[in-house]
């Protein structure tokens, strides 16, 4: 790998660009991916500002526009590793180690996040929903999900598995949210089932898809945002 200065060197901080050479021994597709990743401005910014991943900026940009996170709100983060969304949620709700009101869950190992409690378990475990609300100490105001299924290499299979996670996350959110609460989850273009959208539209005052600037243009990734939970018809909210 080599580094060289990029545009904007004059009159400001030096901008470094990483070039992964063909001598690295990587396959060409892997070499291009690594070079793009290393030169991604959100990756560089996350390292400079102390966020666990570039995904933190997706939540930041969505929250800046839609105002989901406020001081004192209780938040559950599904698929929390490596912890970027927990970091943002803890900061914006002013959650502290003494009085945490952000709980994350993931079956992957992750470092502690100040102001958040992390459960190491699979969200699909039947005991997970009860553990989350018990740990949080009550119903959440916001349920977040950046979950995506581990890739198999088969695009259609990967798509279906991630959409299943979105549906399970939505079911969970509608079963635990406080009235007026919000739900935000990863989905894909053209992938949100009509039945799920219909259910969400009955349960929330507004439902739409958002794509923050931090989500790469070439990615099919979208976020499903459901605001102001009304409750499920026929059930107490």
State yes or no: pLDDT of 62 exceeds 90. yes
Position 15 scores a pLDDT of 44
Residues 6+ apart with CB under 8 A from 2: 18, 19, 21
Instruction: Single out the residue of 127, 122, 116 nearest to residue 76, CA to CA.
Output: 116
- Cα separation of the two ends of the chain: 56
Position 216 scores a pLDDT of 74
In order of their start, the domains of the chain are: 2-39 (no CATH), 56-229 (3.40.50.150)
Q: Which residue has the higher pLDDT, 162 or 223?
A: 223
Position 104 scores a pLDDT of 98
Least confident residue range of 38-47, 72-81, 112-121, 167-176:
38-47
Residues 6+ apart with CB under 8 A from 28: 22
Instruction: Single out the residue of 214, 219, 187, 231 nearest to residue 59, CA to CA.
Output: 214
d(CA 39, CA 53): 14
State yes or no: pLDDT of 48 exceeds 90. no
SS3 letters for the chain? Answer: CEEEECCCCCCCCCCEEEECCHHHCCCHHHHHHHHHHHHCHHHHHHHHHCCCCCCHHHHHHHHHHHCCCCCCCCEEEECCCCCHHHHHHHHHHCCCCCCCCEEEEECCCCCCCCCCEEEECCCCCCCHHHHHHHHHCCCCCEEEECCCCCCCCCHHHHHHHHHHHHHHHHHHHHHHCCCCCEEEEEEECCCCCHHHHHHHHHHEEEEEEECCCCCCCCCCEEEEEEEEECCCCCCCC
Tokens of 77: 């983060």
- Which pTM value belongs to this model? 0.81
**pLDDT single digits (tens) 145-157:** 999 887 777 777 7
Enzyme catalytic residues: 186
**pLDDT single digits (tens) 190-230:** 656 788 999 999 999 999 999 999 887 777 788 999 999 99
**pLDDT single digits (tens) 167-200:** 999 999 999 999 999 999 998 876 567 889 999 9
């Amino acid at each position: 790998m080599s580094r060289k200065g990029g545009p904007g060197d004059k009159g400001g901080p030096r901008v470094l660009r990483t070039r992964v050479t063909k001598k690295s021994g990587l396959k060409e597709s892997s070499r291009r991916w690594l070079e793009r990743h290393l030169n991604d401005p959100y990756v560089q910014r996350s390292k400079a500002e102390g966020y666990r991943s570039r995904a933190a900026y997706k939540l930041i940009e969505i929250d800046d526009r839609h105002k989901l996170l406020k001081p004192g709100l209780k938040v559950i983060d599904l698929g929390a590793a490596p912890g970027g969304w927990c970091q943002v949620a803890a900061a914006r709700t002013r959650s502290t180690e003494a009085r945490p009101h952000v709980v994350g869950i993931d079956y992957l190992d992750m470092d502690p996040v100040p102001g958040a409690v992390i459960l190491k378990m699979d969200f699909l475990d039947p005991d997970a929903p009860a553990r989350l609300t018990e740990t949080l100490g009550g119903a959440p105001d916001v349920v977040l999900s950046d979950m995506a299924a581990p890739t198999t290499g088969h695009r259609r299979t990967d798509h279906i598995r991630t959409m299943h996670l979105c549906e399970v996350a939505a079911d969970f959110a509608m079963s635990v949210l406080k009235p007026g609460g919000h739900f935000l989850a990863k989905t894909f273009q053209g992938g949100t089932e009509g039945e799920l959208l219909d259910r969400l539209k009955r349960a929330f005052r507004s439902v739409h898809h958002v794509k923050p600037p931090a989500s790469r243009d070439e990615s099919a990734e979208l976020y499903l945002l459901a605001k102001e939970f009304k409750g499920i018809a026929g059930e107490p909210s």
